[in-house]
A and B are shown apart, each in its own frame.
Chain A
Amino acid sequence: MKQKEKEIRILMLGLDNAGKTTILKKFNGEDINTISPTLGFNIKTLEHRGFKLNMWDVGGQKSLRSYWRNYFECTDGLIWVVDSADKRRLKDCKAELHILLQEERLSGATLLVFANKRDLPGACNIEELRDILDLDEIKSHHWHIIWCSAVTGENLLQGIDWLISDIATRIFTLD
């Protein structure tokens, strides 16, 4: 008998311009040169390491953030994407992240922080971000931060792999 496919639902959020849609498309092997700001949401279903990943990417502009809550349900993994070169908005970024983590419906989700745009000069490093975003305060979720570049594709796989293995050990161990 064919084993039931293991499905994982991943929600990708972050401030506007962080690179969410670019990450999604790059990961899916699509062209990343014609991406405009997301006004609604994107979904991609990818097969990876025997899992079926349902990835949801919702627009991050301030006026759109109130819609995020409509996509919390059943989320196994939350990817928080940060523009590590946008130092001006890191405070805002930290505030939005910590509000999200209080959400009841996200309480069972593993958190991956993508420190994106590492290829840009002046991008913060992981230690700085960990500090500015107060990541060590997070006790409610399994979390991990990794730098990446959606443009070059560096570290995208490593990040996703960490996320999947954390989720898999949490929810599929009974199989």
Chain B
Amino acid sequence: MTRAVSRLRQAVGKTFVLDDPASLLAYESDALTLFRSKPSAVVLPRSGEEVAACVRILHEEGIPFAARGAGTGLSGGALVPEGGVVLALARMDRVVEILPQARMATVEPGVVNAALSREAKKYGLRYAPDPASQVVSTIGGNLAENAGGPQCFLHGTTTNHIQWVEVVLADGSVETWGTASGEDDLDLRGFLVGSEGTVGIAVRIGVRLIPIPEAVETLLAAYPDMQTACDTVTAIVAAGMTPVALEVMDHRAVEAVENSNFRAGLPRDAGAVLLVEVEGDRERVSSEASTVESILAERQPLEVRRAVDENERLLLWKARKGAGGALGRFGPDTYVMDGVVPPSKLAKVMAFVEEVQEEVGLPVANLFHAGDGNIHPHFSYDARNPDQVRAVEEAGARILRYCLDLGGSLTGEHGIGLEKEHLLKEQFDPASLALMERLRKVFNPSDLLNPGKGLPLRKGCGEAFHRHGGVSGGA
């Protein structure tokens, strides 16, 4: 290892390789704190060339490694097994160019999602995928997880907005996948997006930008219970409305937000609050907002209102996007689940979440991308209590299995990572999983690039990552 560290120092400069225990501590987990694993070194490259040089060294030395953006991942994706090296890409944060006419930008992977939209705004453009973590998470991390967000209901997830990628492969070679038009014969770009950092490291990314709409209307509807809110979502989708976002927050989430700095005057007495945003040209927005408003009014809401101005609109979205963080008041730790069901099954799955919560006895809050059927139950628990850890993991597994029973998926945007690999075999049969494993080997033959993520671990790999709270094995 000492030799590898000194070679890495030669490649990126002395100060950009960290190996003192205090610095490494910050890299031992991501936002899924259930898993911890301290790397032996962290490298902070500044360019694609430096990333490639580091990867070549790690490949030659046979040391496992993974890229890391902002570390906001919710499935343990940016962790390396002990002895491994983290390539932290935060210094590669340049928006290289914006081509307003072509509505495209070239960025480095460490560019923060919201920073890209801020730059693009100067040209009347924006980057559509808007994960709630957008003020921190990076385009590289978004690409690796195929991140979604409220606006993805209309605009699609990250994969629909990445045109091409310059990628450093597991042996340090560099290729460009995809084209300026986003199309190619063989869609390696599409295979890379969402591959959880196991196929290659994106060092330069061509993204599509979209125009800032002429008009936007945000509507809020409050219902006495979650079921009515879900039925309303189903009705909006079935009526063929195309809002840009359709988000739900339950009573507990509203309470947390209203007791935090993100307070936005959400109705505290509501069982569930529905946020709907419509965008486009003025005429379309005004007619669609009226139709949505009438659907919202059909199921005896406690309240329906429109944001009166841009300030109120931004306040509502700040509340929605800050809600996850505000849940900290219910317990020292939060376990965020991420499952998908067909939108017509939302009411069913939320009733099941309620049932599970009653059995488990730990508080759960729900805030989710309802239009896509992408649920996010947030369980509050204490990671120091092994019984609680086991309980939330079991609850998570039950809820996700139920999503599968309803024809859905184990994850809509957070990825499989370390957390759900044991469940993947319930979504895919052994032959399909074996195929994925063989495809991974084409790009990552010695499995040094982000080992153990995204696919069922082979025997022995599981021990490489420690579960915080001392619980081992899947639920």
Q: Do the two shown chains form a genuine complex with each other?
A: no
Residue ranges of B at the interface with A (Cβ–Cβ < 8 Å): none
Residue ranges of A at the interface with B (Cβ–Cβ < 8 Å): none
